Amino acid sequence: MGQCFPPSCSYSWPIRCNCDYLDHCLPLTDPPSRLAPLACWSTKPNSVVHGESEAEQAEILLRPLHQQLHDYYRQFHEDPSFLLPRHHHLFTGRMLEQRLKHSYDHITCWLRTVKEAHLVVLAQDAQL
């Protein structure tokens, strides 16, 4: 903690520094690179990260869930013993295309149910 602040800087706990943080605390070598850590904001604005519209924001949130759906359906079709037969309805009740149209909450609930069903298989295998 002490090496971040120069000797001329007075600080106390909680840290209160009377120096310019960019001048003294960031390990920068030459003046042109002073703003290098902040350069990402000029090339990647919030709209790229979070989306500009509500539809884009929803798509960004749903993308990893859709990937998990694809992975689980692929895993089930490659090896149905991934789940007990009593849980096969999770995959046979609706097609993947139908499941992809569901809401964020519905998909997260379904994913949690599949994970719990798989844990039952793992617990039974551990007991054997």
**Series of mean pLDDT values for 10-residue runs along the chain (128 residues):** 49 49 49 50 57 80 95 96 95 95 95 96 89
The per-residue pLDDT for 1 is 43
| pLDDT at 116 (0 to 100) | 96
Domains of the chain by residue range? 1-28, 53-127
HEC profile of 9-51: CCCCCCCCCCCCHHHHCCCCCCHHHCCHHHCHHHHCCHHHHHC
d(CA 40, CA 58): 24
What is residue 59's predicted lDDT score, i.e. its pLDDT?
87
d(CA 69, CA 97): 10
Q: What is the pLDDT of residue 13?
A: 46
Q: Going by C-beta distance under 8 Å and a sequence separation of 6 or more, which residues neighbour residue 82?
A: 75, 76, 118, 121
- The per-residue pLDDT for 28 is 47
Q: What is the pTM of this model?
A: 0.60
Cα 79 to its chain centre, rounded Å, is 27
